[in-house]
Amino acid sequence: MSAQPQEMLFCWRDRAMQAEDLPEVMLIEQQAYQFPWSEGVFRDCLRMRYTCRVALDAEDRVQGYALMSCGAGEAHLLNLCVSPMRQRNGLGRYMLGQLIALARQQRLSAIYLEVRPSNPAAVALYESAGFSRIGERRGYYPAAQGREDAILLALLL
């Protein structure tokens, strides 16, 4: 009997993020990033009614989240994060697919995002989903040694 791919071992569902999710979201954010967003940034995204989603496991625990702003017929993927304990299990791909589906439902023309070149797993995920490199943003991210450039990606819908 052959082994199943790891992403088949987990059952995910997603829903709109709520303020009550922020303690779990913040824990993941702080575990996943050297320079995490503040809780205030997440609250502002909720207040502005951005597309804010959480991914839940079978026990309804937050295991990942995604935030996307939409306007002028386009979307900007602001943050897509998976708990370090759940990475490489298909959850990031699942969340990205949900966001792409939402953007298509809203008849948006494109999704844009920035990604760190030092995060090759994220770059590979986005490129495998059809995103193309369209540029870079100099000094976009804080880094241990100053600033890091960002790769600018786009998916035309």
pLDDT tens-digit profile of 22-63?
999 999 999 999 999 999 999 999 999 999 999 999 899 999
Does the structure show a pLDDT above 60 at 134?
yes
* Integer angstrom CA distances of residue 62 from 36, 38, 66, 94, 148: 17, 18, 11, 14, 29
Q: What confidence score (pLDDT) does residue 89 get?
A: 87
Report the candidate in 72, 76, 100 with the shortest Cα–Cα distance to residue 157.
100
Contact of 72 with 55, CB cutoff 8 Å: no
**Strands 51-56 vs 62-71: parallel, antiparallel or unpaired:** antiparallel
CATH code assigned at 125: 3.40.630.30
Query: Within a domain: residue 87?
Result: yes
Does the structure show a pLDDT above 70 at 10?
no
Query: Within a domain: residue 1?
Result: no
Catalytic residue among 112, 114, 127, 140: 114
Q: Which domain holds residue 87?
A: 6-156
3-state SS, residue 59: coil
Domain count, the chain: 1
Query: Within a domain: residue 131?
Result: yes
Model pTM score: 0.89
Q: What confidence score (pLDDT) does residue 150 get?
A: 97
Contact of 12 with 94, CB cutoff 8 Å: yes
What digits encode the pLDDT tens for the residues 95-107?
999 999 999 999 9
114 catalytic per annotation:
yes
Q: What is the mean pLDDT of residues 123-129?
A: 97
24 catalytic per annotation:
no
Residue 153, H or E segment: strand 146-156
Report the candidate in 116, 25, 98, 111 with the shortest Cα–Cα distance to residue 65.
25
Catalytic residue among 94, 126, 141, 148: 126
d(CA 95, CA 54) in angstroms, rounded, equals: 8
